[in-house]
Structure 1
Amino acid sequence: MLEEFKKFALKGNVLDLAVGVIMGGAFGKIVSSLVSDIMMPILGLLLGGKDFSKLSYTHGKATIAYGMFIQSIVDFLIISVSIFIFIKLINKLTSWKKTKEEEIEEKEIQVLTKQEELLVEIRDLLKAQKQNASQPE
């Protein structure tokens, strides 16, 4: 059982996932700080000096902290946009790399030896003869 766990835990996908979770947690903290320490105070100033984190509604002993909810929504939106931009950038870089690799492969394919050139000519002649033979006169 220990061997199976080692195989599972040391697979590339599991390690990639672990790194992704750790990086995501750190990224989330950075975005939360950006929202709570920079963006929300600026938004509060623009809306007349309001502090969204302290917005709440109290009824009896119950308190609804809707300001924190607003801040969480802004956090989510910024994280979503950031991840979207990051993924688009990665996809663009990946497709650029694939395009370059395909161009290199095409250049390699286009270089034909003398024997290959003769075979291509023979193939083209046979195709032309076959087309001429199938056409009625």
Structure 2
Amino acid sequence: MFKEFKIFIMRGNVVDLAVGIVIGAAFGAIVNSLVKDVLMPPIGLLLGNVDFGNLFIVLKEGAIGGPYESLLVAQTAGAVTINYGVFINALINFLILAMAIFFFVVRPLNQLAARQKSKEAVIPAQTDKKDCPYCATQIPLKASKCPYCTSELM
């Protein structure tokens, strides 16, 4: 049973998947930091010092009544909130991550596949067969007589 598991794990696609997940998680952290620490502060500043992480709607006040200065204060008080600012941050994270994956992974792979396909179309396949001029059957290139129609070949 252990040998089968070892064979399964050592297959290329499983290892590739594991590496992809680790790199994807690290890349996700980079994008998250980019959005949270680099992009959102200037956007918030342009919109009048808005901190998107603190945009929320109180559905039900907590033990301590509102208004609440921040999302953390509201959650500490036990208020039930809709955190649409956190959602906006997550949405921007997703869009940046999706664009990065598209432009740095999907698009280059599609271009590579198209280039490879065009090379295959240009280079004819080398073969050791030819068509019989009488019956159009594939026969060996060195044949002097067609084995199907028995015609003499030149």
Is TM (by shorter chain) over 0.5?
Answer: yes
CA shift at 1:25, angstroms? 0.5
Structure holding more helix per residue: 1
Structure 1: 5+ residue stretches without partners: 110-115, 128-137
User: Structure 1 segments of 4 or more deviating over 6 A?
Assistant: none
**If the length of structure 1 is used for normalisation, what is the TM-score?**
0.70
Kindly provide the amino acid, as one letter, of the partner of residue 93 in structure 1: L
In structure 2, the residue matched to 1:132 is none
In structure 2, the residue matched to 1:60 is 61
Structure 2: 5+ residue stretches without partners: 63-78, 136-154
In structure 2, the residue matched to 1:84 is 102
Please list the CA deviations of residues 56-106 of structure 1 after superposition, one character each: whole Å capped at 9, or x if unmatched.
233312242321111111111211222222302221123213323443x23
In structure 2, the residue matched to 1:45 is 45
In structure 1, the residue matched to 2:152 is none
Structure holding more strand per residue: 2
Q: How big is the alpha-carbon RMSD for the aligned residues of Structure 1 and Structure 2?
A: 2.5
Counterpart Cα distance in 2 of 1:60 and 1:49: 25
Aligned length: 115
Please list the CA deviations of residues 25-63 of structure 1 after superposition, one character each: whole Å capped at 9, or x if unmatched.
011111111111111112212212211012223331224
**If the length of structure 2 is used for normalisation, what is the TM-score?**
0.63
